[in-house]
Amino acid sequence: MNVKKKIYLISLIFFLIDLLTKTLILTFENHLPITVINNFFYIDKITNEGAAFSILNGHTIIFIIIAIIMLIYIDRNLLKDVKTKLDIISYSLLIGGIVGNLFDRIFYKEVIDFLSFNIFGYMFPVFNLADTFICIGIFIIIIKLLKGEKNENSSTRK
């Protein structure tokens, strides 16, 4: 199996995990919120028509277009440089997360969020697994790029 197919297969798995969790939230929304760890972690259904922190709330079509453009860009430009298992996982997380939130925007006209944290009295904005996948994927890619630049700079100095 070629690398691109592996990435898309793993992305599908991440998307399905996100879809399953959101389906469970919708199924049991009458029983929410659930306290997982008192004064720290809750599961509660919140919907969001915007991006993080409800930025551009109500502009769903813009986010659909941006997601599609990002998926095309990743496919045509970034997947060419995939060399390691960590690359495969990071791009799979990124694609799976983008598709997860894109699915919500297309079918529900909003994103379903449900992971709620109270951190030292601050109620952190509620998010979902797709958001988590995107953040972890981007974090790994950035760290790898920074380490790559560092390695290239140190090898050119010798």
Q: Would you say how long the chain is, in residues?
A: 158
Q: Who wins on pLDDT, 25 or 148?
A: 25
Query: Could you give the CA distance from residue 22 to residue 16 in angstroms, rounded to a whole number?
Result: 10
pTM: 0.90
State yes or no: pLDDT of 136 exceeds 60.
Answer: yes
At 111 the three-state DSSP class reads strand
Q: Is the peptide bond before 125 cis (omega within 30 degrees of 0)?
A: no
> Quick one: tokens of 118?
């109270």
Q: How does 50-69 read in b/e, with b if 16+ C-beta sit within 10 Å?
A: bbeeeeeeeebeebeeebee
Question: pLDDT digit string (tens) for 57-78?
Answer: 777 899 999 999 999 999 999 8
Active site residues: 113, 131
* Cβ neighbours, 10 Å, residue 6: 16
Residues 79-111 pLDDT 10s: 988 989 999 999 999 999 999 999 999 999 999
